[in-house]
Amino acid sequence: MSLPKQVRIIEVSPRDGLQSEPRHLTTDQKVELINELSDCGFSQIEIGSFVSAEHIPQLADTEAVFEQINLSHTVDYSALICNQIGLDRAITCGIGHIALFTSASESFCQKNIQTSINGSLKTFKQIIQKAHDEQFIIRVYLSCAFDCPFEGTIKAQNVVPLVKYFYNLKCDEIVLADTTGRATPLAVQQLIELCRNSVPVEYIGVHFHDTYGMASANIFSALESGVQQIDSSIAGLGGCPFAPGASGNIATEDLLYMLHSMNIATGINLQKTVSIGNKVSAWLHRKNQSRISALMLH
């Protein structure tokens, strides 16, 4: 068995976490959150999104947040976009890294972004070309890579061509997202092994929800298959506003505990992460979903 010596954690709480919370943080709170995350060693933070404020009012102030944070040269900040307008906002704002999302499930694609998978590939091809011209780093989320709330299990054979498509368009990170949290370790291994036949594993990231308590087992499986970039969210913030029943992302604190205990370096301070998770949970009047945080209180 071989596990990586080091992994990169992509902290998604300021975007994926906050977008599904009923309470909105103020711009100052978001700035404080992101500054503290960068102080405790995160090297990649998804700070918000440039999407319609009508759809995601929680993140309507992403420009202001990016303008006000203390930019650290050791942190790579990204923001989610879903169309040309979003890309234009990212260009104006000056952020260097964008994330796009499509889905491996036809029904989810229709319901979430109101187009077919093929329609989204066409649209994104143009956006990606323009983003390359502007020298963005490009991350692509493939939601429902394992399971769909409407269609059930998604076949790995249907996911691989999408991974290949974005690799061929020279995207920098392709993230297999378990939107419903119903993936299990063997399915994770099978999909990643299949993907590895088509693209270098360095391009593949994973994004697991802990709905069924499977996230850490799935991450372990991904690590064994060579994956070295993992999304997580402090306090387990998140879910998916468009996936009924989806609970939060794996809590970063719990992921750090697992990785550090296995001597896998992250560069992130667990104790400080626990404090930030507790603070944000209090701001949101929400229970902290991290088990490690609860244990560390005693």
Give me the residues that bind Mg ion (CB under 5 A), please. Answer: 16, 238, 249
Nearest distance in Å: CB 16, Mg ion: 4
Known catalytic residue at 240: yes
Least distance from Mg ion to the Cβ atom of residue 10, Å = 11
Q: With b meaning 16 or more CB within 10 Å and e meaning fewer, what string describes 127-146?
A: bbeebeeeebbbbbbbbbbb
Closest to Mg ion by CB, 84 or 98: 98
In degrees rounded to 5, what are phi and psi of residue 81? -130, 160
Q: What angle do CA 58, 279, 46 make, to 5 degrees?
A: 45
Minimum CB distance to Mg ion smaller for 86 or for 238? 238
CB of 249 to Mg ion, least distance (A): 5
CB-based contacts of 19, cutoff 8 Å, min separation 6: 49, 56, 58, 59, 238, 241
* Residue 68 vs 150, nearer CB to Mg ion: 150
Q: 224 with 183: CB under 8 angstroms? A: no
Query: Would you say 172 and 200 are in contact if contact means Cβ atoms under 8 Å apart?
Result: no
Closest CB to Mg ion among 132 and 177?
177
* Nearest residue (beta carbon) to Mg ion: 16
In the complex, minimum distance from the CB of residue 160 to Mg ion, in angstroms, rounded to a whole number: 22
Q: Give the containing element (helix H, strand E) for 7.
A: none
Rounded to a whole number of angstroms, the minimum distance from the CB of residue 17 to Mg ion is 8
Give CA–CA dist 279/131, Å, rounded. Answer: 35
- Selecting among 40, 109, 195, 240, the annotated active-site residue is 240
Q: Judged by CB, which is closer to Mg ion: 80, or 192?
A: 80
Sequence-distant (≥ 6) Cβ neighbours of residue 166 within 8 angstroms: 124, 128, 140, 174
Question: How far is the C-alpha of 169 from the C-alpha of 139, rounded, in Å?
Answer: 11
Question: If we measure between CA atoms, which residue out of 180, 178, 141, 147 comes closest to residue 163?
Answer: 141
Active site members: 240
